[in-house]
Amino acid sequence: MKIRLFTVPNLLTLMSLMCGSFAALAALGLGDLRLAFWLLIAAALFDFADGFTARLLGCPSAIGVQLDSLSDMISFGFAPASILVALYLRADALLPWDGRVQYAGALLLYLLTAFSALRLAKFNLDETQRAEFCGLPTPAAALLCASLGLIEAQGGFSLAREWLLLLAVGLGLLLISPIRMFALKFHGFGWRGNELRYLFLAACAVLIFTLRTYAIPAIVVLYIVVSTVRWLVRGRPRG
């Protein structure tokens, strides 16, 4: 079987991977959380473009699927955890910790990377996640982490180390949870069948207009809450 490595979709996937790698470097090596945020935004855009381009050109491939998961692992698993570590190292603690405990806490933040790996592996095998997701999508968790870095870099609020650890654990559990979360995949452009998506996008526009930078974590939290309520109302089908 001939495998084509350098197709247009694969090159876009590699761009997403590179942006995620540079985001981790910006956060840990340069201490530039603003740059890390925009690099993750670029990674997300390239991640969207690779699948769209593959469908447009009619050239989806098995290697593209594998490459996409590897890229997502870096951009939406390792990079956001690295941003949390960068925040952790400059944050205050609520409790007195000695040096070894602080170091262990930083390592624990990479549980988010481990849970992201489980989430991506499950997605590759679960055929029910084409119209909706089972668990929080990794790009949503990554955007939440990156937005906290951006807010801190702009002089906004910063979370204590204990809250960052709880956030990493909470996001990790949401990634592998059975909660069915809606996808922004429209069925045509009509209102019927797309009601929730249009209402959610309208709410996002209002939040962006009113909250500016703070809108990003608010949007992710809104997505989690709406999806969870929807899942509970529908009778909690298992993932």
CA distance 17 to 84: 19
Q: Is the per-residue pLDDT at 193 higher than 60?
A: yes
140-151 pLDDT, tens per residue? 999 999 999 999
Q: What percent of the chain has pLDDT over 90?
A: 65
| Total residue length of the chain | 239
Strand partners, 180: 134
**In this structure, are residues 113 and 78 in contact, taking their beta carbons and an 8 Å threshold?**
yes
| Max intra-chain CA distance, the chain | 59
Q: Which residues of 13-45 are buried (b: 16+ CB within 10 A; e: fewer)?
A: bbbbbbbbbbbbbbbeeeebbebbbebbbbbbe
9-46 pLDDT, tens per residue? 899 999 999 999 999 999 999 999 999 999 999 999 99
pLDDT for 96: 79
Lookup: tokens for 227:
């999806």
Q: Is the per-residue pLDDT at 217 higher than 90?
A: yes
**In this structure, are residues 101 and 159 in contact, taking their beta carbons and an 8 Å threshold?**
no
* Domains of the chain, each with CATH number or no CATH: 8-233 (1.20.120.1760)
**In this structure, are residues 231 and 132 in contact, taking their beta carbons and an 8 Å threshold?**
no
